Structure 1
């Protein structure tokens, strides 16, 4: 119970600490700018935005804090810990930096791989040049004792796997929010789809093993139970019995971006989320053998981003090979999205419906829908096809010039 309480306390402290709050405000403003662009695009295409940029941003922060607390509790009970000199916080900074290069590179598979490679290189240098001393800025450094980026690879991979597990859940439950309808050409037809981009501001609390216990301003030393850690994969944890163990939380951004023309928003986010969950489980299992050898650690670090890229490329390949979902034809006009508070929404028309008839007249082009809606009559009816060829009749009798 003490681990649970201290983990939540570390998250809570980060949310109220002035320095952390400043970082939170900066990241929130960055997300707000992104959401502002999303709502502008929605209004340009649909005519209305579904949520305000402020609503999108607040939900990202609130959901992210909850997700951060859950991921931190999982990591704490598993026993994921890092040496105080590991500079593990760099994984969060690097991921944010990568986001500006390309949004999908915000994923921890890439920042974690970079950090892991640097750590292994420094570990190799310390082994090869053991006993060699250099003079750096007036200080004599023994290369055998270089403790910069002293990162345990097993704990690092478990951290990445848990964060991807949480990301998969977030994508399933919230990934479709803020979707933008988009269009492209395939063959001789215009097809519709959705551009999905969602980020969550997540505080993550991690155990740090302090070799020389001191009174730290931001947290307190934690007494760990005898059964801890649940996973005994880290050599650093052997030091925990004779050293101080403390928790410190860092802000990170978990992001998801994708485009689909073959699935609905819900179908796409569900399949992407399941793929992320499977990826996280595979990483978690492989991490348990990180103690085997240096070469295994290296292969594991390389596998992490390569497998992530493979997962994305498989999804992109299936997008190209599958038939588009939102395409109109001789049998009617396909509905890509329904504007909020519109007559179409009040009638119950949904994304994916095929409009077959309007006012008992077969629909062959967009004009067949346009003319009845501007003729000045206050009544309009549609025959729609939904699902496996099922037909429904919907109507609206409050049409006026103010209705879009």
Structure 2
């Protein structure tokens, strides 16, 4: 028991030596700053602050990482150290494309899986970690594909539970050149997972790592931070519904991959087919979502019976009134509104109180009202699709 506790502590400490841990913190900060700049360009204000993406990086990922760690260690799931190195390499490489979606585990772990096979097959010389890669043989490692499947399920959970929170409103041009609204999510999560690394590999470049025994094999524990990236733009439906639907499809693909990958322990060559299915399947999910969304009419567009809410500033009067993205404001203080100018003029009719008639996402009418206080956001904290002239001025 003391040895296990010692390994857990040492393995946890190695997390802070892993370059991906710090790299994800840096990239999350970049995503936050970029989002705020774009929102200010479109709306002259921002929704969440620039640290929002950074705050989403850890909480749910840590919980999922703990669950996956229990599963991998209990099942005795071991992966070659060469795979860990290649996952780091492909995480850094795919991040250079600036498409956070490519930092999904299905692309990083999947690429590492096929990389190991090619390196072993053609006996390629890998600099700096030559001995680690010489330690792998030409056999297929089904455990890497099982790890991919577990991380793919975690990705689907992260998308369903977290990606729909704080989607960012933006203004785009339709094919007809009209100003319309959309929502965008660019999110990174960190999922740290304890993995069993065969001791024979660890004694090469990292012989100082302690080793303990499970049966006839020797292993060391290491807490590996896996990057999970997601990028989606939604224009044809409510962002929360679209993103959660996307997440459920990823979970289904992950479960299917896990079932098939377990068979690979008895028939290792099947693991190659399963890894390819996971990569192609994940790509098809993104492609089908994009095609479906492109064929739908713009959800956030100009309406004749009111103003469509495309965004709500957190902690603003609108947020406290319970207004939701996708709702339509038809009247303000009894005045029917069609554009922003009328909206603000009607709002000024009573500086101490406002009453709104709202059509919710189901088309049902409801009334919301609130006393206004000095210091409240003068626009209530509601973001609308801008008039064409205003949008042209902002991007000009």
User: What TM-score, normalized by structure 1, do the two folds share?
Assistant: 0.78
1:39 to 27, 32, 36: 36
Number of the residue aligned with 1:100: 96
Deviations 1:149-175 (A, max 9, x none): 767431111111111111111222221
1:222 aligns with 2:218: no
1:30 aligns with 2:27: yes
SS at match of 1:337: strand
Deviations 1:328-386 (A, max 9, x none): 32222211112234333343322111111223232233332132235684443321111
Number of the residue aligned with 1:78: 75
Query: How many residues were matched structurally?
Result: 371
Deviation at 1:136, TM superposition (A): 12
> Quick one: distance in 2 between partners of 1:106 and 1:395?
44
**155 and 92 in structure 1: CA distance in 2 versus 1, 3 angstrom threshold:** same
Number of the residue aligned with 1:308: 282
Deviations 1:65-121 (A, max 9, x none): 33322222222223321235x343311331232022132111222223332323333
Task: Give structure 2 stretches of 5+ with no counterpart.
Answer: 380-396
Deviation at 1:398, TM superposition (A): 2.5
Deviation at 1:124, TM superposition (A): 4.1
1:166 aligns with 2:163: no
**14 and 147 in structure 1: CA distance in 2 versus 1, 3 angstrom threshold:** closer
Deviation at 1:190, TM superposition (A): 3.9
Number of the residue aligned with 1:235: none
Once the two structures are superposed, the pairs formed by residues 354-369 of structure 1 within 5 Å of their partners are: 354-369=328-343
Deviation at 1:123, TM superposition (A): 4.5
> Quick one: distance in 2 between partners of 1:136 and 1:69?
32
> Quick one: distance in 2 between partners of 1:295 and 1:244?
25
Number of the residue aligned with 1:90: 86
Name the Cα RMSD after superposition. 3.6
User: What TM-score, normalized by structure 2, do the two folds share?
Assistant: 0.80
1:391 aligns with 2:365: yes
Number of the residue aligned with 2:307: 333
1:269 to 236, 240, 243: 243
Once the two structures are superposed, the pairs formed by residues 47-196 of structure 1 within 5 Å of their partners are: 47-54=44-51, 56-84=53-81, 86-101=82-97, 102-125=99-122, 147-148=135-136, 152-186=140-174, 188=176, 190-196=179-185
1:403 to 370, 378, 385: 378
Q: Is the 8 A contact 2:121 2:138 kept in 1?
A: no
> Quick one: distance in 1 between partners of 2:260 and 2:13?
33
Task: Give structure 1 stretches of 5+ with no counterpart.
Answer: 127-133, 225-240
Number of the residue aligned with 1:227: none
Q: Is the 8 A contact 2:83 2:116 kept in 1?
A: no
Deviations 1:290-328 (A, max 9, x none): 256676444333323211111111111221233433233
Q: Is the 8 A contact 2:164 2:244 kept in 1?
A: no
Larger Rg: 1
Q: Is the 8 A contact 1:87 1:149 kept in 2?
A: no
Deviation at 1:6, TM superposition (A): 7.3
